[in-house]
Chain A
Amino acid sequence: MFPFAFEWVPEATRYVFMGSLYAVLISLIIILHYCAIRAFLDMICKKDDHNSHH
């Protein structure tokens, strides 16, 4: 539920719960996008220094 939904009740626990949920989701989306953009830039720049063993 988003804070602008009409069912939203402005109470501390709701901000903590939903805030934590969205913080985690946003973090994961940022990490995925960061990796994808870096990989794309490496690809178009033909940069390949990824041969180290993970």
Chain B
Amino acid sequence: MDSASAPFDSALFPEGVKRCKFKWFLFWLAVLHGPLMVGVIAMLMCWGLALHVTYLNNNYPFGLWIAADLGIIALGAGAFFTGFLRYIVNIEELKNIVNYAVVIGVVCYAAAQGILGVDIGQPLRGWFIFWHANVHSMLTEVAFCITCYFMVLCIEYFPLILENRQINKLRFFHGMAHHLHGAMPTIAAVGVFLSFFHQGSLGGVPGVLYGRPFAYREGFLVWPWTFFLFILSAIACGPCFTILVTWITEKCAGKRLVKRNVIDILAKISGRLLVLYLVLKTLDTVYWVAIAGKAGAPLSSFYANQPFGYWVLITELGILGVIPAIILLNAKARQNENILIIACILNCTGIFMNRWIMTVQALAVPVMSFDKFISYRPNWVEYASTLMFVWLGAVVIMLSYRYLPIFPQEKELNPS
């Protein structure tokens, strides 16, 4: 591209790559700001008028926000798990996607914390959980680990910013980026430690509710089985979300950004982990049905209230579990991009459904003889304030793609 036709901000682009005209970039940013502003209004309503503007109530203290929060955190597991595979297991090929996995992780964890900021109603008191910590609560562990892991992700994202073509010309920032890259295995190890515990503890929260037979599980030491199932399900779906977002970015950019073999490695690992998860989840379900039945809570009692019928169980484990697992395990199916993306969508939807079941349905099932089932459907305020972080994430990804060197293979795959 000659200098006359190059976008005026082309000096900020990574070396040797093409980007769209600046006016188109601004246009798409403006388009995203429409729904983003609706979300901001919804958020301000929650803070200004309190949570009664939502459909949350005493029967459903955990609604769309918490389910979305847990789902987003599971999807963001692609960042820590890809970092683990790249820096600790040392799979060399993954260096070509680990940067983007970090960007996606930053977006997911920022979204998760943002949603919690809306959900707690009074974000100015958010620091209470750190100072007045209830050290007997799994949620405290979650809050500590998510906050610290978000810092880790920011530190992993920082060298990408420093490697912007203009910033990198400054010797100090150039050196800082270099040394941060050198420290990345240590940072990745801290991230793995934190992620392991917060992904698990999110599963531990429903697992320790002994008054809720739908959710309660036995376990190992202080950790219920759901602790381990949540970790496994997160690392099984996180890489699929990374593949999915990379594919969407490629479609928006109109070019290939990562080689097929890199995607294939992630898909294969994800498939194997998904199979392991499904086997353990099925065993857990069978054992739970037997134990709960003996305790006077037959399986039918959990699925007697519409819309939470048996279809929930079949959809979660069958359509959104077994089908993507078969596709991801099959090398020929993985080579077909459309089928691979369908598998990733099913896998990621499955994780959202699992989190919805373990938080919303688990608390909705009546447990007392005088309890009545009350249905719940989120209202527009909850939807808008949740989706706000999706649009915000898209803006961060657009800015990162335009100005930061996140795809090392882009130049090779798209020679000018």
Which residues of A approach B to under 8 Å, CB–CB? 1, 7, 11, 13-14, 16-18, 20-21, 24-25, 27-28, 31-32, 34-36, 38-40, 42-43, 48, 50, 53-54
| CA A20 to CA B140, docked complex, whole Å | 12
Say yes or no: B148 contacts A21, CB within 8 Å.
yes
Residues in A whose Cβ lies below 8 Å from that of B190: 24, 27-28
Contact string, B192-230, partner A, CB cutoff 8 A, digits 1/0? 011000000000000000000000000000000000000
Q: Which residue of A lies closest to B95 (CB)?
A: A54
Residues in B whose Cβ lies below 8 Å from that of A7: 132
Asked, given contacts A13-B135, A28-B190, whether A39 binds B175 with beta carbons under 8 Å apart, the answer is yes
Q: Which residue of B lies closest to A24 (CB)?
A: B148
Interface flag for B152 (CB, 8 Å): yes
Looking at the assembled complex, report how far the CB atom of B69 sits from the nearest CB atom of chain A, in whole angstroms: 21
Looking at the assembled complex, report how far the CB atom of B331 sits from the nearest CB atom of chain A, in whole angstroms: 30
Say yes or no: B140 contacts A35, CB within 8 Å.
no
Interface flag for B151 (CB, 8 Å): yes
The answer, among B131, B136, B172, for a CB contact under 8 Å with A39, is B172
Say yes or no: B178 contacts A28, CB within 8 Å.
no
| CA A5 to CA B393, docked complex, whole Å | 39
Most buried by B among A16, A18, A35, A36: A35
Asked, given contacts A1-B132, A54-B178, whether A31 binds B186 with beta carbons under 8 Å apart, the answer is yes
Most buried by B among A25, A50, A54: A54
Looking at the assembled complex, report how far the CB atom of A12 sits from the nearest CB atom of chain B, in whole angstroms: 9
Asked, given contacts A17-B133, A25-B148, whether A32 binds B172 with beta carbons under 8 Å apart, the answer is no
The answer, among A31, A38, A42, for a CB contact under 8 Å with B187, is A31
Residues in B whose Cβ lies below 8 Å from that of A17: 133, 135, 140-141, 144
* B residues 363-416 touching A (CB-CB < 8 Å): 408
Looking at the assembled complex, report how far the CB atom of B351 sits from the nearest CB atom of chain A, in whole angstroms: 26
| CA A31 to CA B112, docked complex, whole Å | 25
Say yes or no: A1 contacts B133, CB within 8 Å.
yes
* B residues 118-172 touching A (CB-CB < 8 Å): 130-133, 135-136, 140-141, 144, 148, 151-152, 155, 159, 163, 171-172
| CA A53 to CA B152, docked complex, whole Å | 22
| CA A30 to CA B266, docked complex, whole Å | 32
Asked, given contacts A1-B131, A34-B179, A43-B171, whether A28 binds B144 with beta carbons under 8 Å apart, the answer is no
| CA A43 to CA B170, docked complex, whole Å | 9
Looking at the assembled complex, report how far the CB atom of B409 sits from the nearest CB atom of chain A, in whole angstroms: 12
| CA A38 to CA B176, docked complex, whole Å | 8
Residues in B whose Cβ lies below 8 Å from that of A25: 148, 151
Say yes or no: A11 contacts B175, CB within 8 Å.
no
| CA A6 to CA B193, docked complex, whole Å | 31
Contact string, B172-186, partner A, CB cutoff 8 A, digits 1/0? 111111111111001
Looking at the assembled complex, report how far the CB atom of A8 sits from the nearest CB atom of chain B, in whole angstroms: 11
Residues in B whose Cβ lies below 8 Å from that of A13: 135-136
Residues in A whose Cβ lies below 8 Å from that of B144: 17, 20-21
Say yes or no: B179 contacts A24, CB within 8 Å.
no
| CA A40 to CA B174, docked complex, whole Å | 10
Residues in A whose Cβ lies below 8 Å from that of B193: 24
Say yes or no: A35 contacts B194, CB within 8 Å.
no
Looking at the assembled complex, report how far the CB atom of B333 sits from the nearest CB atom of chain A, in whole angstroms: 34
Looking at the assembled complex, report how far the CB atom of B134 sits from the nearest CB atom of chain A, in whole angstroms: 9
Residues in A whose Cβ lies below 8 Å from that of B187: 28, 31
